[in-house]
Structure 1
């Protein structure tokens, strides 16, 4: 079968100690037997490794940060599209999704396809909205509350028991064992990601995750559960293994069916000693460990691109159990002139 030639632009190329999903998504697309992809990297920082991985990324362009606003972003995308003729665009950072979703109609008119959650889906699964989300869809979630100052937490401290989890609205989470640590982590996260900060009940148990892809009509195209086998000090999975877990799968089907989720997602869960599942977070895109799902038999990046292109996708019905991933660091050797070219011209 002849492959479909597509130009695919994507972000999240910071393949570092807290890696973005971009490079694993590219690896999945490179493994595709149906898509012949030209990969365009969208880069925020000159030191993101992705642009220098020439075996994976064909061309890279600097783009404005999401905080710069929608118009500078669209202006840059128009230029890149004029040169590259982008077919599909895949954002891989939580912090940029709002900009992409607001621009989805404009991008479509330009000829650029995306496959993203709706604004309602994106907003209601925010960490600060998780208690309401749990009630609405019948899912166990830890008690949590958004705060905009440490004093807010002092006023509601009687509702929590230490330790508590202090979370940023996009990234970062720390376990605080007393008020001093709450203040420390509040200031650290707020300086980086802004307000509000979420204080969440600490649930003891084993961290497990599910990666999934919804078609926007209530159907689950693919889902693979995983248990973290090694976690970094930043809380990132540095190793994991696929599980046979019908309870996790049923929860995933339930959420996608009820919400009619559109696009990739990751459910972050805690399994307690009583074998109860608590959902502590929903990430609204494919996670950095997506290549484990590809290796286990579900090429979710390929499926997402096909959905974006209105190509019919049959749901995956199985995956390999006991498939492991082990992340490793690698010294990428780069010529100075390449770094200078990306820094000065904004493309490589």
Structure 2
């Protein structure tokens, strides 16, 4: 058994990792910026600690993590977000420590974090991608022409989701949408001070994610979920999702990309799916937000990741064969139909629906929160304290938001 350190304990994905590793018999250390982080209060946690905000104080964050690793003899570190991964430094290692960081190699991670590089690679490999234009100047005449040709709305993405800002601080950039030329120019102007902007056609499909554990470009285990609700409505983090049967097309596209990048570790490959076609959206090279669904459905990615790090790749009896040049057995043994909800995002979805005039939808979703049947990412009767801390965090967030609105 290993001593494993997990960051970002406020997130449902981190809570899922902590619970999974505790159930597997590992000793778990968990950290976060906030003392209210639900993961710091999981039953059986060996030690919880706080660290400085890695987006603002990267060196202090590294020192804190290194000190905890040394004090408790940590064998492995699982950084959950881009911020806690990138703040470890360019080599993603803890200096003067035997603690291994379970993250893809920096050069591999860089290929998928750079969205333009990823889309170019995918197109070269025959993986379908949205029509895209890379913009580096506010005065580029191709910007307005793109909207006219691709149609509205236009999706505006930063080339990188996280970039270095002033004084070494990390800045998180968001995807936005433009419905006319003036709005498009404004959205592009917001991105360009930080990095190039990517303009994409809006593809009105349903969101599906294919999550994998891979070793040197070979997929060992795969899971697929269907996004039933997202925040915002136009596309974003999933608030409610369902485990579904793996789509052979998506699994093959995923295998193509994982093989080309020689990926080791966890990844989520996101697609939009229409009746007769699909489009690649991105590869999430960190732990994805809907991980609790996979674990609840029986695909225990966290325990498998740690086992891979300790013992190397293992075979599994329940397998699905991929077709094509990368044919090999892939474990897809999980319970189809399992669902899970992010409580905070579901509340946001319901309140946003009420605000936007979708009263029946909003009331239906908010009323459904009383039904534990569909499952929650964090709330669990067998380990209730993290759920209580999640409720406190949600209440503080909503109260702060209401105060800001009243002060306008």
Normalising by structure 1, report the TM-score: 0.79
1:212 corresponds to 2:226: no
2:29 counterpart of 1:39: yes
1:101 is displaced (CA, Å) by 6.8
CA contact (8 A) 2:104 2:263 kept: yes
User: Matched residue of 1:207: which SS?
Assistant: strand
1:102 is paired with a residue whose SS is: coil
Distance 2:35 2:155 in 1: 33
2:259 corresponds, among 254, 257, 260, to: 257
Residue 270 of structure 2 is matched in structure 1 by 268
Write out aligned runs for 1:1-348 (5 A).
4=1, 6-15=2-11, 21-32=13-24, 35-41=25-31, 43-45=32-34, 48-51=37-40, 53-55=41-43, 57=45, 58-66=47-55, 68-69=57-58, 71-100=59-88, 102-104=90-92, 106-107=94-95, 110-125=97-112, 126-148=114-136, 150-152=138-140, 154-160=141-147, 161=150, 162-168=152-158, 169-170=160-161, 172-186=174-188, 194-215=194-215, 217-233=216-232, 235-244=236-245, 245-274=247-276, 276-315=277-316, 316-329=331-344, 331-332=388-389
- Give distance in 2, aligned partners of 1:101 and 1:254: 29
C-alpha spacing 1:268/1:123, structure 2 compared with 1 (3 Å): same
Quickly say closer, same or farther: Cα 1:23–1:266, change in 2 above 3 A: same
- Cα offsets for 1:111-130 (capped at 9, x unmatched): 11123222232122221323
Partner deviation per Cα, 1:246-294 (whole Å, 9 max, x = no partner): 22222222222232211111111011232x1211111102211112112
Residue equivalent to 1:344: none
Give yes or no for contact 2:8–2:80 (8 Å, CA) kept in 1.
Answer: yes
Q: Summarize deviations over 1:296-318 as a string: whole Å, max 9, x none.
A: 22111111112222444335342
Q: Which runs of 5+ in 2 are unaligned?
A: 162-172, 317-330, 345-386, 393-408
RMSD of aligned C-alpha atoms?
A: 2.9
Which structure ranks higher in relative contact order (CA pairs < 8 Å, sequence separation ≥ 6)?
A: 1
Consecutive unaligned residues in structure 1, runs of 5 or more:
336-348
Mapped partners of 1:221, 1:24: distance in 2: 20
What do the CA deviations read for 1:3-25 (whole angstroms, capped 9, x no partner)?
x2x2211222333xxx6x32222
Change (3 A) 1:68 1:190: farther
Q: CA deviation at 1:204?
A: 1.8
Partners of 1:206 and 1:272 within 8 A in 2 = yes
Which residue pairs with 1:338 in the alignment?
none
8 Å Cα contact 2:156/2:175 also seen in 1: yes
- Give CA-to-partner distance per residue, 1:132-155, whole Å, 9 cap, x none: 122333211112244455434x44
The aligned residue for residue 342 of structure 1 is none
- Counterpart of 1:252 in 2: which secondary structure? helix
* Matched positions, count: 316
Deviation at 1:331, TM superposition (A): 4.7
Closer/same/farther in 2, CA of residues 95 and 219 from structure 1, 3 Å limit: same
Kept after mapping to 2: 8 A contact 1:128/1:145: no
Q: Distance in 2 between matches of 1:190 and 1:93?
A: 23
Larger Rg over CA atoms: 2
Seen in structure 2, the aligned counterparts of structure 1 residues 165 and 320 have a Cα distance that, compared at 3 Å, is same
Q: Name the SS of the counterpart of 2:100 in structure 1.
A: coil
Distance 1:186 1:50, change over 3 A: farther
Cα distance, 1:55 vs structure 2: 2.5
Q: CA deviation at 1:94?
A: 2.1
* In structure 2, C-alpha distance between the alignment counterparts of 1:317 and 1:50, rounded to whole Å: 28
